[in-house]
Structure 1
Amino acid sequence: MPHVIPVTELFLLALIIIFAVPWLFWRLLRTDYYAPLVVVQIVGGILLGPGVLGAIFPAYYETVFAPPVIGALNGIAWWAVMLFVFVAGLELDLGEAWKWRRETGLTAGLALGVPLLFGAGAALILLALGNPAHWIGAKGQHWQFVLGVGMACAVTALPILVLVLQKLDVLRTALGQRILRYASLDDIMIWGVLALILVDWERVTRQAGFLIGFAIAVVLVRKLIAAIPDRDRWYIALIWLAGCGYLADWSGLHYMVGAFLAGAALDARWFGIDAIDRFRDTVLLAFMPVFFLSTGLRTTWEMGGYAAIGAAGLLLFAMVTGKLAGVGLAGRLLNWGKGESWIIGWLLQTKALIMIIFVNVLFDKGIITSGAFTALLLAAVGSTMLTIPVVSPALRRITGLTEKAG
């Protein structure tokens, strides 16, 4: 009688692989300059998934990542990404954006709008060159796919941007705060567009009810959290997060839309910037690698590797040129100095996490296929890996930029 490995042992073995393999590559190959650990973890998820190692060693994949193990990992991944998106919403500083509203609004609008148009154009090219069924999911419509891919190309990942700014030692400078303002405003627009894409006309009454109920609940929750002791605030915030995620999903939006709204409705000062930083770092360390693996398990090469890589190259070109064109136009209108828009455009290029979260939602809702998901994932990784090598030497050439507040 063959020995059956208990599910608990398989689950723990999967965790060992998830945490050990990317960390060893990151440390031994010293990839931090081109690929921070979070990027290596995302790539590791792709390599460990069914499309690469699963195809080469099917017995390994079928044994370790059996359905019960995947179910357990998905539960951790769902909660991990909710926590992460919640923190992204919590970190929004709308007061600072309002103080610099003209410059912030113009820059953020162009930094989002132009690459959105470029990305939508790339989506139309993909549909024109091949079978639309290879790209548009079973539940997706033509306009949802085009707008969804366009927005994916326009995304700036605020949490990853924070890590990059820390790496470049400019996070707490005037330049770092400027870029965070632009990215924060873009974050609001990103989730607003996602909500528009996900509007379900069969459940639009539920969605309207959720938004109205959310607006009322925000007033009550804000009063409650402001009144209770510090030690209770995180606990109440987590209950609030789970409730918003549940009701957003029930209404036909997505639990991640609810998670972002839950964080954006609260004030970071109630929790403390240092505490939020520690909380985000803990989520990144202890939980998010599981999400990266679960994301990698969704990648597929069923259309052929060359098709996916070719589509990823087209999307990467749209992302980079669109973002640089948008920020370059803002720089001209605002009379920025030489090289300023180049640096800011590349820093706003960081995508990785939020774009991956965004396309996960599109995939969950059947708007894009697994092939489109894979191409977008590869483009997000490429875009993020280019940022530090391009920006680091450019920052050294321009003096005084880090202290320019607007």
Structure 2
Amino acid sequence: MSPDETVMHILLATALILVIAHAAGWAAQRLKQPYIVGQLTAGIALGPSLLGSVWPGGHDVLFPTEIDTALTGFAQLALVVFLFAVGYELDLKVLGDRARSAVAVAAASFVVPMAVGSGCALLFQDQLRGLGMPELSVAQVVFAGVALSITAVPVLTAIVRENDMSRTVSGVVAVSAAGLLDVLGWTVLAGALLGSDNGEQELNWWWRALLSAGFITLMLLGARPVLRRLLWRTRMEPSLRLALLTSFAVGSAVVTHALGLHVIFGALLAGVVTPREEDGTLDPDLLRALHTVSHLLVPFFFVVSGKAVALGSLDGAGWAVLAVVTVLAVTTKIGSGTAAARLSGLGHRDAWTIGILMSTRGLTELIALNAGYQAGLLSRPLYTVLVFMALATTLLTQPLLLLVHRLTGHPDNALPPPPDRPRPPHTDQDGAPATPAADVG
């Protein structure tokens, strides 16, 4: 294929991906489902498993191997921008008076699924071998627990807002607990990836761990004050600030990738160390731009991830594993989250609502699965099982919420209104950007 033909294929594939993925996301929202459900479904549909079976050879015509590198590059850029925004928005100060409940829910919602996932990996090694998994390593066992314990903060936040729960006890505790759980999950996932050995790393894991710790320290103690002086003491125009900080996130992602982690960790770390405005608020212009860029590009990640989904690799035993994994993923999250919320003093309705919200997975789960698959911690059939588990648990969140609300029949406890305070320009009454892009996580 000539360079001109390659460029034309890239342009045509880009148009197809953007239109189909965003149309599917729009359709999902009309069905009262998160935007990601439609985009993830579109990504799987455009992969070789579905498109290739309906139109033999069609996937190769629309997505020839010569453009794989370009699509992967777009996907990685989307992840960097998305996770940079996630890290920038992360603020554990929102715990407030509900810190005890949020910490209890986060701990239970992480430890119980983590223990169940790792335990099942050890107990059912024969069944996992049937899905193409080799003899299990410590990193693979840990990753199995992480895959079951993840909660997607962005899609959880979107569901809370869409259900008018932003000022309720259950909504605040769930969002706060999910933020804490994210910190735990990404930390353990980083350890699992450092401990993996896919034959591509030249450094031993302990060297990589030491260098990673040094890089994190440098970012926290060195990069943060430098950025604070640069951003606070100069009146940088929004476009230049966006370019500077995006480049900073990309550079951080390159470093963590070189250390044997994934680009996601560098991007997330860059967002965490980026200082807020001097009054402690988020920069609305920066956040709006980050949301717009990630919202536009994230379909490339779904398509690249969908290429690794192999429906044909699942036989009857594989579908049985999918059913078991989905049941475990739902019950461990809802059960542990609900129990922790009740033990911390919350009512039945609030506790059940929090448990259901903690079972929400989405783009965050898919990012972790993709990182594990690239590191050799997952076989292709098991990756397929876990992708469909992520889709199923995300689909179940809204119906389960409606069921609980109908059965309990009384409203959530609303938090007292916040004290009057000046808001930064271009934000709504909750302090969020006035015109945020549709949530994708």
> Same fold by TM-score, threshold 0.5 exceeded?
yes
2: CA distance, partners of 1:403 / 1:173: 5
* Partner residue of 1:400 out of 391, 402, 412: 412
Tell me the CA shift for residue 285 of structure 1.
Answer: 3.2
- Return closer, same or farther for 1:277/1:162 CA change in 2, 3 Å cut-off: farther
Which residue does 2:202 correspond to in 1? none
Q: Distance in 1 between matches of 2:273 and 2:146?
A: 23
Q: Does 1:265 align with 2:277?
A: no
Alpha-carbon offset, residue 133 of structure 1: 7.1
Report the counterpart of residue 214 of structure 2 in structure 1: 209
Cα deviation for residue 404 of structure 1 reads 7.6
Higher mean C-alpha displacement, 371-380 vs 191-200: 191-200
**Residue of structure 2 equivalent to 1:256:** 264
Matching of residues 356-371 of structure 1 within 5 Å: 356-371=366-381
Q: Please, which moves more after superposition, 116-125 or 56-65? A: 116-125
Q: Would you say the 8 A contact 2:253–2:264 is kept in 1?
A: yes
Distance in 1, Cα, partners of 2:190 & 2:81: 19
SS in 1 for 2:126: helix
In the superposition, the TM-score normalised over structure 1's length comes to: 0.89
- Aligned-partner SS, 1:196: helix
What does residue 13 of structure 1 align with? 12
Please name the residue that 2:116 is paired with: 118
1:210/1:251 contact within 8 Å kept = no
Q: 1:98 deviation in Å?
A: 6.3
Instruction: Give the whole-Å Cα distance in 2 for the aligned partners of 1:203 and 1:259.
Output: 18
CA distance in 2, matches of 1:280, 1:175: 28
Q: How well do the aligned residues superpose, as a CA RMSD in angstroms?
A: 2.8
Give CA deviations for 1:94-149 in whole Å, capped at 9, x if unaligned.
2223664322221211121112122223333442334277135xxx9522112112
Q: Tell me the amino acid that sits aligned with residue 243 of structure 1.
A: G
Q: Distance in 1 between matches of 2:337 and 2:28?
A: 32
- In structure 1, the partner of 2:144 is 149
1:222-260 CA distance string (max 9 Å, x none): 343333325354333212211211111112222111111
Match of 2:228 among 205, 217, 222: 222
Alignment-mate amino acid for residue 206 of structure 2: W
Query: Conserved in 2, the CA contact under 8 Å of 1:241 and 1:262?
Result: yes
Which moves more between the two structures, 220-229 or 64-73? Answer: 220-229
Q: 2 CA distance for matches of 1:384 and 1:273?
A: 30
Distance 1:235 1:179 in 2: 33
Match of 1:325 in 2: 335
CA–CA distance in structure 2, aligned partners of residues 201 and 272 of structure 1? 37
Structure 1: 5+ residue stretches without partners: none
Deviation at 1:188, TM superposition (A): 0.8
Q: CA deviation at 1:327?
A: 1.2
Q: Deviations over 1:264-323 (max 9, x none)?
A: 222444673644653354135311111111110111235334344322222211111111
Instruction: Using the aligned pairs only, state the percent identity.
Output: 26
Q: Does the CA contact (< 8 Å) of 2:232 and 2:277 recur in 1?
A: no
For 1:265 and 1:61, the matched residues in 2 are separated by 41
Asked if 2 retains the 8 angstrom alpha-carbon contact of 1:168 and 1:392, the reply is no
How has the CA–CA distance of structure 1 residues 394 and 277 changed in structure 2, closer, same or farther, with 3 Å as cutoff? Answer: farther
What TM-score results when the alignment is normalised by the length of structure 2? 0.82
CA distance in 2, matches of 1:17, 1:126: 41
For residues 54 and 179 of structure 1, the distance between their equivalents in structure 2, rounded to whole angstroms, comes to 40
What's the counterpart of residue 45 of structure 1? Answer: 43
Decide whether aligned partners of structure 1 residues 213 and 41 sit closer, same or farther in structure 2, where only a CA change above 3 A counts: same
How do residues 37-116 of structure 1 correspond to structure 2 at under 5 angstroms? Answer: 37-97=35-95, 100-116=98-114
Judge conservation of contact 2:81–2:293 (CA < 8 Å) in 1.
yes
Seen in structure 2, the aligned counterparts of structure 1 residues 157 and 279 have a Cα distance that, compared at 3 Å, is farther
Gaps of 5+ in 2: 195-204, 418-441
State the distance in 1 between where 2:232 and 2:393 align. Answer: 40
Of 167-176 and 350-359, deviating more is: 167-176
Secondary structure of the residue that 1:350 maps to in structure 2?
coil
Instruction: Give the letter aligned to residue 173 of structure 2.
Output: R
Q: Deviations over 1:201-220 (max 9, x none)?
A: 35344333323332333333
> SS of 2:288's equivalent?
helix
Q: Secondary structure of 2:57's partner?
A: helix
- The structure 2 residue matched to 1:234, chosen from 239, 242, 247, is 242
Write the letter of the residue equivalent to 1:211: I
Structure 1 counterpart of 2:262, which letter? Answer: H
Larger mean CA deviation between 75-84 and 55-64 belongs to 55-64
